[in-house]
Amino acid sequence: MPLRRFAALLALALATPAAAFDEALYATLLERHTQPVADLARVRVDYPAIAASADWKHLVASLANADLAALRTREQQLAFWIDAYNILAIDLVAGHYPVDSIRDIGSLLRPVWKRPAGTVGGRTVTLDEIEHGIVRPLGDPRLLDAQLDAAMRRWLADPEKGLRIDRARDAVHLSKIFDWFEEDFAKAGGVLAFAARYAPDADREWLRAHAATARIEYFDYDWAVNALAARP
């Protein structure tokens, strides 16, 4: 799943200044080959169309030739590397499609996250290298800057994958992502404090009032490929 964890959920293309990387083409291809799910921060991807697209191949090549020295600010670096993660993850699925899950591309001893995913700025990288070695050290549990506030709110408004409160049981159901990256949310005061900041209005005050007592439970993570059409 592209940014196994945040960026694919948010599914946004961001402005990145790295010379040679064709960010405008990326935005065009996302618009052409993805479809939003209702009004939530989720999308379906037309992987067969991407696999057959000459423009997509050009985009991947532009990523390989990107000038990383042109990324001068933290925001530029975050935007570029999240785009890079998403592009390479989508490219892996498209190149192996049909698969039920991106995890099917790897093996128990060598999971997909640790396999070479592609070339960025002239060097071969894995998805784990991008996520844990580059993006997470840049900080911010959202992994992005203020422009993703709206996307975070849409995600937590999804009671199936983002946030659901069971007031009768004093329980909060959250995405498994919050469990995986619990330590990243410590800077924001903890998982519930962070969730309260972006939760729907009806849930925000309850979360703040019950932050010390509520039990946190996590949704099972859905690893299925977010394909636009059913597998052939």
CA 185/CA 164 separation, integer angstroms: 19
**Mean pLDDT calculated for residue range 96-120:** 91
User: Are 84 and 199 found together in one domain?
Assistant: no
In this structure, of 41-45, 72-76, 117-121, 133-137, the range with the lowest mean pLDDT score is 41-45
Query: Does a structural domain hold residue 25?
Result: yes
Three-state secondary-structure class, residue 45 = strand
154-205 pLDDT tens trace = 888 888 888 999 999 999 999 888 888 888 787 778 889 989 988 999 899 9
Q: What is the pLDDT of residue 228?
A: 67
Q: What is the pLDDT of residue 180?
A: 82
CB 44 within 8 A of CB 37: yes
Percent of residues, the chain, with pLDDT higher than 70:
80
Q: Which residue has the higher pLDDT, 35 or 4?
A: 35
User: Are 18 and 102 found together in one domain?
Assistant: yes
Range of the domain at 21: 7-138
122-137 pLDDT tens trace = 999 999 999 889 988 8
Query: Does a structural domain hold residue 12?
Result: yes
CA 153/CA 150 separation, integer angstroms: 5
**Residue 211 above 70 pLDDT?**
yes
Which of the listed residues 104, 138, 172 is the one where a domain comes to its end? 138
User: Are 37 and 118 found together in one domain?
Assistant: yes
Share the mean pLDDT of the chain: 82
| DSSP letters for 126-156 | EHHIIIIIIIGGG--TTSS-GGGHHHHHHHH
Three-state secondary-structure class, residue 33 = helix
Q: Which residue has the higher pLDDT, 228 or 11?
A: 228
Query: Does a structural domain hold residue 71?
Result: yes
Q: What is the pLDDT of residue 53?
A: 96
CB 104 within 8 A of CB 98: no
Helices (H), 71-139: 74-96, 127-128
